[in-house]
């Protein structure tokens, strides 16, 4: 099936309220949002959503209204415990946790502290918790597989925070978006248009690109400020155009990953082998070494590690800490992936697990699993090559021919 994607036109910035307002205006059910948020062990707030119009544009203005003004101090551990204690589906809970963790990492960097020491002020309040968890809920309920965003408005002025009067963008918001190389455009407005909550949502979930999209619905989420232009976040929802003409039976999966690279010319093979093990244990999806030539024609190795986007910074820290390199390169890339499944088949040598490559419903190929073949070769005391031949014949007769 074609993938549903969304594009955020952030011409007037983004906040958590504006994001949810745009989602509601594009078709998200307010009752369904309330029901999902009820899974959080959190009270003391009301959700308000109303139609709103400004300068000829119409949309929805959403707000989380705290009933209790006093907010307890919260750290990342408190937010994590709250989400872990909820009955939210794991995927929604993990997305919300990823947003909060990225926000905590930015706060720690700004204040020169650790994740455990970071004290959430505004973003630890009830309204921010609801906004961030609501964003994770909205992405899941709307079936959005990829989120894109436009450049952001770079404004001047100051914003009042628990730390006092700070320049905008607020330090945490700027750090969040610096880490993902978010593009900015000068804007004449004074005051905060990109909030830390909005920045955390973008830094965790969005790619700053303009996608090829067949737009089906448009939603506008309005902010509270009065500006010379409509103060709204526009959400364009539709199908990824690059997949519209693909055969649905052969559609690949798609995701984004962080690719971390570094050139190293002063580590032995044994140390590089240990580095690979360390990177894989730290969460890398894949690690590879490429022979290269560096300055003065010195032989060297380019280390390449791939991981989920949200783990890119932490894995880069592992590479810096565990190797002799002085610097790393990080980029985010899109992957198209064939589906891979494992299936147990009967062979003359007994039951065996094989791996099958598919594109949608179509089987492209199948191959023996090495560990299975080695196990059988050892149990029967026969050459490994012979086990492979038997397995390949069984695959041909039971999988490939029968499913063509």
Q: Give me the CATH number covering residue 359.
A: 3.10.20
**Could you read off the pLDDT of 315-341 as tens digits, one per residue?**
999 999 999 999 999 987 878 888 888
Question: Which of 337, 352, 387 lies at the terminal end of a domain, its last residue?
Answer: 337
pLDDT score, position 277:
95
> 154: which strand partners?
186
| SS3 (DSSP) at 79 | helix
Phi and psi at 156, nearest 5°, equal -115, -175
Instruction: Collect all residues with Cβ–Cβ distance below 8 Å to 381 and sequence separation of at least 6.
Output: none
Cα–Cα dist 14/198, whole Å: 5
pLDDT at 167: 86
Number of structural domains the chain divides into: 3
What range defines the domain where residue 192 resides? 4-243
C-alpha to C-alpha distance for 72 and 346, rounded to whole angstroms: 60
Query: Position of tokens 């968890």?
Result: 133
Neighbours of 355 (CB within 10 A): 16
List Cβ neighbours of 70 (8 Å cut-off, separation of 6 or more): none
User: Is the pTM for the entire model greater than 0.95?
Assistant: no
Residue 121 domain-assigned?
Answer: yes
- What pLDDT was estimated at residue 266? 93
Q: What's the rounded Cα separation, in Å, for the pair 105 and 76? A: 10
Query: Rounded to whole angstroms, how far apart are CA atoms 399 and 357?
Result: 11
333 & 352 share domain: no
Q: One digit per residue, pLDDT tens: the chain, 404 residues?
A: 468 999 999 999 999 999 999 999 999 999 999 999 999 999 889 999 999 999 999 999 999 998 876 667 788 888 999 999 999 999 999 999 999 999 988 888 887 887 777 767 555 588 889 999 999 999 999 999 999 999 999 998 877 776 678 888 889 899 999 998 899 999 999 899 999 999 999 999 999 988 889 999 999 999 999 999 999 999 999 998 754 444 555 667 777 888 999 999 999 999 999 999 999 999 999 999 999 999 889 999 999 999 988 888 899 999 999 999 999 999 878 788 888 888 888 889 888 888 888 887 778 888 888 888 999 999 999 999 999 999 999 888 887 665 55
pLDDT at position 114, please? 78
Sheet containing 286-293, strands listed edge to edge, beginning at the edge strand earlier in sequence: 286-293, 299-308, 253-264, 329-337
Q: What CA–CA distance (Å, rounded) separates 249 from 256?
A: 22
* Burial label, 269 (beta-carbon count in 10 A; 0-12, 13-18, 19+): exposed
DSSP 14: B
Same-domain status, 126 and 270: no
Q: Is residue 248 part of a domain?
A: no
pLDDT of residue 244: 43
What secondary structure letter does DSSP report for 185?
Answer: E
Same domain, 277 and 368: no
Q: Let me know whether 282 and 202 are in one domain.
A: no
34 assigned to some structural domain? yes
Residue 288, SS3?
Answer: strand
Residues 239, 106 share a domain: yes
Q: Are residues 218 and 261 in the same domain?
A: no
Whether 366 and 261 share a structural domain: no
Judgement on whether residues 331 and 345 belong to the same structural domain of the protein: no
- pLDDT tens-digit readout, 229-252: 999 999 999 998 754 444 555 667
> Which one of 190, 218, 243 terminates a domain?
243
Q: Give the pLDDT score at 71.
A: 67
- Rounded Cα distance between 205 and 191, Å, is 25
Please check whether residues 11 and 45 belong to one and the same domain.
yes
Asked if residue 325 lies in contact with residue 264, where contact means CB atoms within 8 angstroms, the answer is: yes
């Amino acid at each position: 099936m074609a993938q549903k994607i969304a594009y955020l036109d952030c011409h007037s910035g983004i906040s958590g309220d504006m994001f949810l307002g745009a989602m509601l205006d594009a078709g998200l059910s307010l009752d369904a949002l309330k029901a999902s948020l009820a899974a959080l062990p959190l009270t003391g707030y009301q959700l308000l959503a109303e139609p709103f119009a400004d300068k000829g544009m119409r949309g929805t203005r959403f707000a989380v209204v705290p009933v209790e003004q006093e907010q307890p101090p919260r750290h990342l551990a408190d937010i994590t415990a709250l989400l872990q204690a909820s009955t939210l589906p794991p995927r929604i809970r993990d997305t919300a946790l990823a947003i909060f963790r990225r926000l905590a990492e930015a706060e720690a960097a700004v204040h020169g502290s650790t994740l455990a020491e970071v004290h959430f002020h505004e973003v630890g309040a009830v309204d921010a918790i609801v906004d961030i968890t609501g964003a994770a809920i909205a992405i899941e309920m709307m079936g959005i597989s990829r989120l894109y965003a436009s450049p952001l408005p770079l404004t001047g002025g100051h914003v009042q925070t628990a730390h006092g009067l700070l320049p905008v963008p607020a330090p945490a918001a700027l750090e969040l978006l610096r880490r993902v190389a978010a593009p900015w455009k000068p804007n004449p407005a004074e005051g905060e248009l990109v909030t830390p909550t909005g920045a955390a949502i973008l830094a965790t979930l969005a790619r700053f690109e303009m996608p090829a999209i067949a737009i089906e619905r448009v939603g506008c989420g309005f902010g509270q400020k009065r500006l010379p232009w409509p103060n709204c976040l526009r959400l364009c929802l539709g199908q990824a155009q690059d997949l519209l003409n693909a055969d649905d039976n052969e559609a690949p999966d798609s995701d984004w990953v962080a690719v971390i690279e570094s050139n190293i010319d002063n580590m032995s093979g044994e140390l590089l082998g240990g580095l690979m093990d360390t990177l894989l244990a730290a969460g890398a999806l894949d690690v590879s070494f490429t022979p290269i030539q560096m300055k003065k024609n010195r032989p060297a190795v380019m280390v390449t590690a791939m991981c989920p986007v949200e783990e890119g910074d932490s894995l880069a820290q592992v590479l810096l800490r565990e190797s002799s390199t002085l610097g790393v390169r990080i980029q985010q890339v899109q992957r198209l992936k064939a589906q891979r499944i494992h299936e147990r088949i009967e062979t003359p040598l007994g039951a065996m697990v094989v791996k099958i490559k598919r594109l949608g419903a179509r089987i492209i190929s199948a191959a023996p699993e090495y560990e299975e073949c080695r196990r059988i070769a050892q149990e029967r005391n026969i050459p490994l090559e012979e086990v492979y031949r038997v397995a390949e014949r069984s695959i041909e007769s039971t999988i490939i021919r029968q499913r063509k």
